[in-house]
Chains A and B, each alone.
Chain A
Amino acid sequence: MNSKKDIINISAKEAEEALAAIQGVAQKTRHSIASGSAHISLITTGIVWLIGFTATQFLSPPLIIWIWIVTSIIGSALAIFIGIRTGKRVRTASSAVTGKRIAIFWMLLTLFALGIIAVAHPIDGKQITLVIILFAMIGQMGMGLLLSFSATWWTVPVAAVALLGYFLVPDWFYLWMGLLGGGVMIALGLYIHFRW
């Protein structure tokens, strides 16, 4: 084995390679932790939106409600199950405190969204949908900023797609949200998983 003196005499090229290796691993680790189960959450939410919104565009109310309930329950259960599994990869010293803060944050955000809907009442289904989507994106952005800045960016294209659909194609808003909103989420989830 080399002595410490031998190692001190490494060349600049070796030092450069070592620093590049360190930087590469650090970046890979940060991205891996930041993306965590985000891609699973995005893909499952995207599929739920794709089915739910497309059904909302074409089907009648009682059936729509059931489709949303069933897809949301399956999607949430899957995301929670996979989230718990992937969450075991890194144990955080402050995970209990962070979990409590996340729960309080979402509870308060839901109350604010309900407050806005109540104040703006009467509003139609499309407006309620858009308010919920925008608040969900604000929430996801908040989570991203709290946990890792690199996980915040995807909320912007999803919110932009929702706003564009609302103003440009109001008659086809639900189909737009299903195909483009859900599609963007699925695409972003696949991108984070395979390319990021």
Chain B
Amino acid sequence: MSELNETIHQTIRLRVMAALVTLDLGDEVDFTYLRDLLDVTDGNLGAHLRKLEEAGFISVNKTFIERKPRTYVAATDAGRKVFKEHVEALEAILKSK
């Protein structure tokens, strides 16, 4: 049976993962785009991304485009799998109501 994941369940991390798994496999999203999409601050998003990265659920790719630093974020295979299980567990709770 699928289980809820403690790391993902936090509201902002849940929304980050929801946005990232919506992308096609292999696609990555810019940090500022994700920040604007979720309407959170730089510091807040950065802290939650670190937690997700430490858990292995996302990959963070820092690069330079036209000599400007950019950070791209993507869901890893493990992150996608855990998120899917998390959603299944939420649905199971609703069904058992």
A interface, CB within 8 angstroms of B: 1-4, 7-8, 10-12, 15-16, 18-19, 21-23, 25-26, 28-30, 32-33, 88-94
Contact = CB atoms under 8 A, between A and B. Distances in A.
16 contacts: A2-B6, A7-B4, A8-B3, A8-B89, A15-B91, A15-B94, A19-B90, A22-B90, A25-B18, A26-B19, A26-B22, A29-B37, A89-B30, A91-B27, A92-B26, A93-B26
A91 B9 contact: no
The SS class assigned to the A binding surface is helix
B90 A15 contact: yes
- Residue among B26, B38, B87, B93 with the highest chain A CB neighbour number at 10 A: B93
Interface residues of B, number: 35
B47 interface: no
A41 to B, nearest CB: 18
Contacts of B93: 10-12, 15
B37 A32 contact: yes
Interface string B32-63: 11000110000000000000000000000000
B11 A22 contact: no
A69 B4 CA distance: 59
The SS class assigned to the B binding surface is helix
Contact of A90 (B4, B14, B23, B25): B23
A86 to B, nearest CB: 9
Contacts of A12: 93-94, 96-97
B19 A29 contact: yes
B15 to A, nearest CB: 5
A92 B65 CA distance: 15
Contact of A21 (B11, B27, B29, B94): B11
Given A18-B14, A91-B28, A29 B94 contact: no
A33 to B, nearest CB: 8
B18 A22 contact: yes
